[in-house]
Amino acid sequence: MKTEEIIIANLKCNGCASTIKKELSSLTGVKEVAVDVEKDAVNVTYDNISRESIINKLHSLGYPEATEKNGLLLQIKSYGSCMVGRINNL
């Protein structure tokens, strides 16, 4: 089992964190997900899944790794993910 901290872009609030936790937790092989909004960090404990698969899932939600290019489309995707997370927390 491996635990890794991934620094991401576009993390704004607990709505974002909620969406990230839900979506990453649904991946086979991901055992635990913790999001630190203050540090723009996602801590993932996983096995039998590649780091690349986790990064790709974050990217598809609009939260690219901080080392990636963060264009307008990804920023818009993150706002959509944020809204879904906020609605799910009501």
Cα within 13 Å of Cα(15), Cβ side: 14
- Domain extent for 38: 2-83
pLDDT value for 81: 76
Q: What is the pTM of this model?
A: 0.80
Whichever domain contains 15, its CATH number is 3.30.70.100
Q: How many residues does the chain have?
A: 90
Q: How many CB atoms lie within 10 A of CB 3?
A: 11
Residues of the chain predicted below pLDDT 70: 68-74, 89-90
Q: Is residue 90 part of a domain?
A: no
Quote the number of domains for the chain: 1
pLDDT value for 74: 67
Q: Is residue 88 part of a domain?
A: no
